[in-house]
Amino acid sequence: MALRGGILLGMGLLCCTVQGAEPLRFTSLEWPPYVGAGLYQDGLVGQRLHQALDLLGLQARIDYYPWRRAQRLVLTDSPYVGYLPEYASPRLAEHFYCSAPLLQAPLGLAQRRNDTPIHWQRLIQLQPYRIGVVAGYVNTDELDTLANAGLLYTDSANSDRNNLRKLAAGRIDLAVVDPLLFHYLLRHDPDLRPLADQLTMNPRRLEQKQLVVCFRRTDQGHRLRDRLNLAIARLGPAPVLEPQSPHALTR
């Protein structure tokens, strides 16, 4: 994403400290290890947001809700300026100003460990299978297009946790899930730990996703998005996370 303004303007935005300003308020969901109220600095994405805003002399407060409510609160009259993390997608531009990526993360498919291995090269080859998705989540453009056209069978749940429970119970054959989240939940969630030996990730990934912040589509949201982008550029390229990344699952 192109950076706006000249060098002097950028320097001014980055060096400006707002004395006594209230924290910027964001919504999110419990989605460890990326974001969570009990995680160090609100998780891996939260930490990156705090670091970027610190360069601007600003602070963030992240409040946690179910995913669809987290999005709706930013669309309505509320104290929230944006929500995170979201998968970057052109479809979001109608309603939000989206930042440069804070992190890059994989997206894949979970399956039952003892089932016949599912080999595929193209998504259309998954037609025979019931694919679990989370309501309100962006998946991949191709998967969502095929599902909307009735060419792939998808079944919605209200959370990744419920999707994995449905997978273990045989109600779906595959579940769209981030591998870091998958491994984190099977290690730390008391309801899912007993399922750790039953589930695994399909070796083929769906996509590498960019995790962004979505701001309210107002003049304030536009300004905040541009300022945050300047700070993100100072932090350097968005790190690419994999389940084997150092500390990716331990914070």
Number of neighbouring beta carbons within 10 Å of residue 133: 23
Residue 245, pLDDT score = 47
**Confidence band (pLDDT; 50, 70, 90) for 21?**
confident
Which pLDDT score is estimated for 112?
97
- The number of residues in the chain equals 251
Start and end residues for every CATH 3.40.190.10 domain found in the chain: 7-102+209-235, 105-207
Mean pLDDT of the 130-159 span: 95
Confidence of residue 6 (pLDDT cuts 50, 70, 90): very low
Confidence of residue 96 (pLDDT cuts 50, 70, 90): very high
Class at the top of the CATH hierarchy for domain 105-207: alpha beta
Hey, which residues does 110 pair with through a beta bridge?
175, 201
Q: Is the peptide bond before 203 cis (omega within 30 degrees of 0)?
A: no
**Of 18 and 172, more confident:** 172
222 contacts: CB under 8 Å, gap ≥ 6: 97, 215
Q: Which CATH number fits domain 7-102+209-235: 3.40.50.970, 3.40.190.10, 3.30.465.10, 3.10.150.10?
A: 3.40.190.10
Average pLDDT over residues 8-30: 65
Q: Given this model, what pLDDT does residue 8 score?
A: 34
Per residue, the 3-state secondary structure of 75-86, as one string, reads HCCCCCCEEEEE
Percent of the chain whose predicted confidence (pLDDT) is above 70? 89
Residue-level pLDDT at 20: 56
